[in-house]
Amino acid sequence: MKDQLTRCRRSAGYSLIEIALGVLIFSLVSGITMTIYSRSNTYAAKGTWRVQTTAKQRTALRQVKDFLEKSSYPSVIRVNNYYESSPDFGSEDFVMKLGSGTALKGTSAAVSYYSFETAGPVLEFFACTPRQELEGLASALKEVPGTARKLVLSLEATASTSSRMRLIATSSSAEVTLNGEKVQVGTLGTETPIVLLEDVTAVVVGVSTQAATREKTVLELQVVNSDPFDGRLKLREIAKATINVRVKK
């Protein structure tokens, strides 16, 4: 009889220690499972972000390259002469400039790099078409008005965090006077800024003047994006453009 009672007591349930160990093991397994699941989701999200951001970087830099290759000085073309507001004619007003307002400087020996990691202007330059005075069939002068557009590439802070910015392009018509004559004709005003790229952490500008063709300058633009999850993954895309304006040496 005693043996039967003893067996019944032993098989009646689990002890407190056994229950505590069971809960502990279950918690550990659940925690490990949730950690693996969370990391898997983060890795998958990072992979998706990487593909999408790389495509956005390339699209943005194609637009920037197109802007840069249109860089030019205000000018007037007449029947017998030509005038351009460039360093060749003693003017430094329309050289390409850094966001700080300093004229861009390049050398043929190496590339000069300028890094921008805070909100503010990055590059400032002009894209112009010449004002033309052409002789018509009846020996009358025909005038083709010129245009002058000021383009500014800049970093703009977002509301979420100051370390993540957007790269924007702002275009505005400029009134330029050359030898007492206006180059720009039309309505002055600033266009709506174009958002080129989101989540930018830095922009790097590299300048190199080609030794063989001193009038041409190669501009290298790099954009850096970091992932919005933990910031460890950084993507860098580079574009190069040959600009039509000289750099101040």
Looking at residues 158-171, what average pLDDT do you find?
77
Looking at residues 53-72, what average pLDDT do you find?
89
Q: For the chain, what percent of residues have pLDDT higher than 90?
A: 4
134-156 pLDDT, tens digit per residue, is 765 455 557 777 788 888 889 98
Instruction: Please state the domain extents for the chain.
Output: 71-243
Across the chain, what does the average pLDDT equal? 76
Q: Which residue has the higher pLDDT, 46 or 40?
A: 46
Of 203, 194, 116, 213, nearest to 149 (Cα)?
194
Cα-based torsion angle of the residue sequence 100, 102, 107, 110 in order, rounded to the nearest 10 degrees: -20
190-216 pLDDT, tens digit per residue, is 677 888 888 898 998 888 765 444 556
| Residues in CB range of 227: below 8 A, 6 or more apart | 46, 49, 50, 233, 234
- The burial of 224, by beta-carbon neighbours within 10 Å (0-12 exposed, 13-18 middle, 19 or more buried), is given as middle
Whether 106 has a pLDDT exceeding 50, the answer reads: no
pTM comes to 0.72
In the chain, the amino acid numbered 108 is S
HSE at residue 9, side-chain half, CA atoms within 13 A, is 6
